[in-house]
Structure 1
Amino acid sequence: MNNQRNLFLAVVLCGLLLFGWEAGMKWFYPAPAVPAKEKVETSAAPAPGDEPAKIKRTREGGLTDPAAEALEQRDLATVLKSPQRVRIAAPEIAGSIDLVGARIDDLTLTTHRQTVEKNSGPVRLFSPSGTPAQHFAQFGWIGTGVKVPDGNTVWQATGGPLAPGKPVMLTWDNGQGQRFGIEFTIDDKYLITAKQTVANLAPGAVVVRPYAVINRTSATASLDQWTIHSGPVGYFGTGVDFGTDYDDIAEAGRITPEGKAGWIGFTDIYWLSALVPQSNAEVDADFRGLGKDLFRADVIYDPLTVTTGRQIARTTQLFAGAKESAVLSSYAENGITGFDNAIDWGWFGIIEKPILWLLRTLYGLVGNFGLAIILLTLIVRGAMFPIAQKQFASMAAMRAVQPKMKAIQERYKDDKPRQQQEIMALYKTEGVNPLAGCLPILLQIPIFFGLYKVLMLAIDMRHKPFALWIRDLSAPDPAHILNLFGLLPFTPPSFLAIGVLAVLLGITMWATFRLNPQAMDPIQQQMFSIMPWVLMFVMAPFAAGLLIYWITSNILTLAQQKYLYSKHPQLRAQADKDKTNRERAAARDAKAKG
């Protein structure tokens, strides 16, 4: 009766794990809510009566409302036709600079597609002010007793298009003896440098504060999860801060992180826009909420006094591009402090970075990240093979002492503390370690989680195919059984989105459990029989690459167990005996019921 009750409880708990996983994750780690309206004056702020609309976020971000997407396309078609623009034509980014307001508000990433479809077009990172996907950078000045350019100022451009080795100079004369200039240069990746100058030709000194801002809507932000940060980010003091989200800024109105700002901006899962202030200058760096899902990252330099006949300058760098770890590391080596940590690797970065390096190396050899993941699994399991041998030796020793254990359990069945003491003494006498079998699993946990983070964060994996229907290893298996592999016009909820890879995972895990010596406890036996199918449901929404790793690992485990059984025949004999006993018990139960 107790066994039946325990089995019932185990099934209930498995069901809660299966069907409550998604709801539980949303409860404990909710997606960012729609930020509250803030009363901060800005030219891009909404009308006072506007109310925020509910935002549906996706893993990669971007607009999800069809009406907003259509409006974005119409706005871009109109705004980008303006003749008051200077083209950007760099190897990795393309777009234009708006001469009205000196805004960099039109950027696409030429080497990254929007979707897995080859004709989907490049990823758009920046969009002009007022568009549904508003996201831009602007450079200007705050003046005291001096006329400074603003968002409506029309600048004069010299040079263009902006490309490596081909700078663009913007100039504006305020008619009062001060000339303002912004010189833009760009490298062959994602870094734009803006040198802001003020020349004073009038009698008497003027005081100005150069500034740079990134202005964006959170409506296009990627999903902010408990393991992957999306939102405000920056290097302050001695490390990168991933602890602030859009809700925090919307609630506070303004947040000024503690410590000197190395850089500040906004991150999505794959993309980053960040300002890098001049290293030897004093700046105020903060985040501001502008209302209705609009936010701003500011870099405002300390006041500068420009005397007659002098010119002063401040240089700010703008990173706007993909979070390619090798590119970020190269920028860090060249002076942008902590930029290699702009990817939210978390606590397991010490494992994740070597895994990514190894996957890249293997990819360079085989040209397919799916094959690289399989080779990675072979390397990991090969490295742990000596541990597996010790595990099987321990299992053999455990089998050898089982008759003595049963005798102790029978002798002290009414004295559980004494029973445990005698069993531990038996382990010590026989040199048996009951936990040895757990070691390979414990060692694989950080590797498994590290690969999960690599697949989620490394843009190297984005849109990388494996074979057949697996066209993106960083996304879940798209072949869902419930909708007949796409023949039926609906998408199953994530906890029922069982694909071919999930089924293979369940089958291979079931097979590995069947090869293991059967547990003595009937409840453990029943749990092991249920667990493969529970994990099949739990793992189905995860990245296809992760399931490929686990399936490969299970297949290698089967081969490894076959080999080690040949080295430990007593385990094989016991496994066969357990199988025979199970079959006889099942036959007796069937006969009794019949």
Structure 2
Amino acid sequence: MGPLGTIGHYILTPLYYAVSGVMLAWHWLFSQIGLDPEGGASWGLSIIGLTLVIRAALIPLFVRQIKASRNMQLIQPKVKELQKKYGHDRERLAQETMKLYKDSGTNPFASCLPILMQMPIFFALFRMVDQAAKKGTAHGFLTETQAKEFGKAELFGKLPLAASFTDSQGILAVQIVAAILVLAMTATTFTTQRQLMSKNMPPDALTGQYAQQQKMLLYVLPVVFAVGGIAFPIGVLFYWTTSNLWTMGQQFWVIRNNPAPGTEAAKAKEERDRKKAEAHGLPAAEGAVATVTEVEPEDKRPAQRQQPKRQTKAQRQKGGTGRPPGGTQRSQNQKRNGNQQ
């Protein structure tokens, strides 16, 4: 084992335990409800269950991804201004752009976090399926018996989970199912990215460098998945397709309920809210007025009377300034009464 193999072993070993532990928990559950523990259905559904657990754990990263993507959209006008100002100096442009990212709290790489976090898990599952099928090697919490069952598991009695489009074991049904899963994986990737660009990006963000990057990902990622997917085992394709479906549904929910300002999705939400308010007998305009009129005045207390400034004895004797109008007259009356006495 070379240096790279040693590093990969230390990285993947903890993931083997995490992946196998979650899969075995789902496998035990499906076995309890009547599925054959050695059958492909229990192992295939365990892979899908593993996907759901991982994607649920990655929700905080997805939230950061949404915020980063939204911030990137909102600062595009400022990025364009920097490009016009420092377009002749690439080094200065890069410095000012990074400063803008820092000041706005935007991380341009945060949108890649969910994919990057899933890649090690993906490779761990790939090696578990591949080595269990070819060598019966057990990883993580899998026993040798379970590894052999996992490696030989077949869906519907004729679709090995370890088979792939390029290694179909001479079974035409394997190639058909693998091709369908690869197409589904590619289509969901394209649809998710297209949905983001068409509905949740303001007009200013549809031009410029950021938009070009998004358009490139729109076409490059599906091609990468399609080319690489034909070599993935069916069990791994179950994982990736399920993960893409989760991403597509999760993003649809976010775009529908919390769209970026100034986008088509935001206009659609405003229209839905208006119709919903009218259905309840309260038009949106009246609701806004009611909200404003319900605000109480900040302070209804009467203004306090300003007290006169205190004066020294010398000032009072001289009739100094700052005393109220009646103050001087009062002092004169007191002097007059004293003289009379």
Q: Give the match's secondary structure for 1:516.
A: helix
Q: Relative to 1, partners in 2 of residues 1:564 and 1:533: Cα closer, same or farther, differing over 3 Å? A: same
Q: Relative to 1, partners in 2 of residues 1:560 and 1:537: Cα closer, same or farther, differing over 3 Å? A: same
Give the drift of 1:392.
0.4
Q: Relative to 1, partners in 2 of residues 1:479 and 1:467: Cα closer, same or farther, differing over 3 Å? A: farther
Is 1:566–1:572's contact at 8 Å kept on the other side of the alignment?
A: no
Give the drift of 1:365.
1.0
Q: Which of residues 403, 407, 415 in structure 1 aligns to 2:81? A: 407
Give yes or no for the alignment of 1:550 onto 2:240. Answer: yes
Which residue in 1 is equivalent to 2:163? Answer: 475
Is 1:374–1:548's contact at 8 Å kept on the other side of the alignment?
A: yes
Q: Which of residues 28, 36, 50 in structure 2 aligns to 1:364? A: 28
Cα shift readout 1:294-346 (whole Å, capped 9, x = no counterpart): xxxxxxxxxxxxxxxxxxxxxxxxxxxxxxxxxxxxxxxxxxxxxxxxxx966
Give the drift of 1:362.
0.8
Whole-Å separation in 2 of the counterparts to 1:524 and 1:427: 18
Give yes or no for the alignment of 1:466 onto 2:155. Answer: yes
Superposed, 1:290-301 pairs within 5 Å as: none
Superposed, 1:410-429 pairs within 5 Å as: 410-429=84-103
Q: Relative to 1, partners in 2 of residues 1:526 and 1:447: Cα closer, same or farther, differing over 3 Å? A: same
Q: Relative to 1, partners in 2 of residues 1:347 and 1:464: Cα closer, same or farther, differing over 3 Å? A: same
Cα shift readout 1:196-234 (whole Å, capped 9, x = no counterpart): xxxxxxxxxxxxxxxxxxxxxxxxxxxxxxxxxxxxxxx
Q: Which of residues 496, 514, 532 in structure 1 aligns to 2:194? A: 514
How large is the RMSD of aligned CA atoms in angstroms? 3.3
Q: Relative to 1, partners in 2 of residues 1:527 and 1:389: Cα closer, same or farther, differing over 3 Å? A: closer
Whole-Å separation in 2 of the counterparts to 1:550 and 1:575: 27
Q: Relative to 1, partners in 2 of residues 1:556 and 1:346: Cα closer, same or farther, differing over 3 Å? A: same
Question: Larger Rg: 1 or 2?
Answer: 2
Give yes or no for the alignment of 1:391 onto 2:65. Answer: yes
Q: Give the match's secondary structure for 2:210.
A: coil
Q: Relative to 1, partners in 2 of residues 1:538 and 1:375: Cα closer, same or farther, differing over 3 Å? A: same
Superposed, 1:190-201 pairs within 5 Å as: none
Q: Relative to 1, partners in 2 of residues 1:395 and 1:347: Cα closer, same or farther, differing over 3 Å? A: closer
Which residue in 2 is equivalent to 1:505? Answer: 185
Which residue in 2 is equivalent to 1:290? Answer: none
Q: Give the match's secondary structure for 1:528.
A: helix
Which residue in 1 is equivalent to 2:276? Answer: none
Q: Give the match's secondary structure for 2:237.
A: helix
Structure 2 residue identity aligned to 1:378: L
- The percent of aligned pairs where both chains have the same amino acid is 30
Whole-Å separation in 1 of the counterparts to 2:254 and 2:261: 9
Whole-Å separation in 1 of the counterparts to 2:233 and 2:262: 36
- Stretches of structure 2 lacking an aligned partner (at least 5 in a row): 3-7, 36-41, 133-146, 198-205, 268-341
Is 2:16–2:124's contact at 8 Å kept on the other side of the alignment?
A: yes
Q: Give the match's secondary structure for 2:108.
A: coil
Q: Relative to 1, partners in 2 of residues 1:437 and 1:452: Cα closer, same or farther, differing over 3 Å? A: same
Q: Which of residues 331, 339, 348 in structure 1 aligns to 2:12? A: 348
User: When you count helix as a share of all residues, which structure comes out higher?
Assistant: 2
Is 1:501–1:548's contact at 8 Å kept on the other side of the alignment?
A: yes
Give yes or no for the alignment of 1:433 onto 2:107. Answer: yes
Give the drift of 1:571.
6.6
Which residue in 2 is equivalent to 1:375? Answer: 49
Is 1:502–1:539's contact at 8 Å kept on the other side of the alignment?
A: yes
Structure 1 residue identity aligned to 2:114: P
Q: Give the match's secondary structure for 1:378.
A: helix
Cα shift readout 1:93-121 (whole Å, capped 9, x = no counterpart): xxxxxxxxxxxxxxxxxxxxxxxxxxxxx
Q: How many residues align?
A: 226
Structure 2 residue identity aligned to 1:514: R
Is 1:477–1:500's contact at 8 Å kept on the other side of the alignment?
A: no
Q: Give the match's secondary structure for 1:411.
A: helix
Q: Relative to 1, partners in 2 of residues 1:530 and 1:347: Cα closer, same or farther, differing over 3 Å? A: closer
Structure 2 residue identity aligned to 1:546: V
Whole-Å separation in 2 of the counterparts to 1:355 and 1:415: 49
Which residue in 2 is equivalent to 1:541? Answer: 231
Structure 2 residue identity aligned to 1:463: K
Q: Relative to 1, partners in 2 of residues 1:478 and 1:364: Cα closer, same or farther, differing over 3 Å? A: farther
Whole-Å separation in 2 of the counterparts to 1:419 and 1:345: 42
Q: Give the match's secondary structure for 1:520.
A: helix
Give the drift of 1:521.
4.7
Q: Give the match's secondary structure for 1:542.
A: coil
TM (norm. structure 1) is 0.35
Whole-Å separation in 2 of the counterparts to 1:498 and 1:369: 17
Q: Relative to 1, partners in 2 of residues 1:398 and 1:466: Cα closer, same or farther, differing over 3 Å? A: same
Is 2:188–2:244's contact at 8 Å kept on the other side of the alignment?
A: yes
Superposed, 1:177-216 pairs within 5 Å as: none
Q: Relative to 1, partners in 2 of residues 1:543 and 1:364: Cα closer, same or farther, differing over 3 Å? A: same
Whole-Å separation in 2 of the counterparts to 1:533 and 1:576: 31
Q: Give the match's secondary structure for 1:499.
A: helix
Is 2:166–2:231's contact at 8 Å kept on the other side of the alignment?
A: no
Structure 1 residue identity aligned to 2:244: N
Is 2:259–2:265's contact at 8 Å kept on the other side of the alignment?
A: no
Q: Give the match's secondary structure for 2:227.
A: helix
Q: Relative to 1, partners in 2 of residues 1:436 and 1:530: Cα closer, same or farther, differing over 3 Å? A: closer
Which residue in 2 is equivalent to 1:531? Answer: 221
Give the drift of 1:556.
0.1
Whole-Å separation in 1 of the counterparts to 2:165 and 2:262: 36
Q: Give the match's secondary structure for 2:263.
A: helix
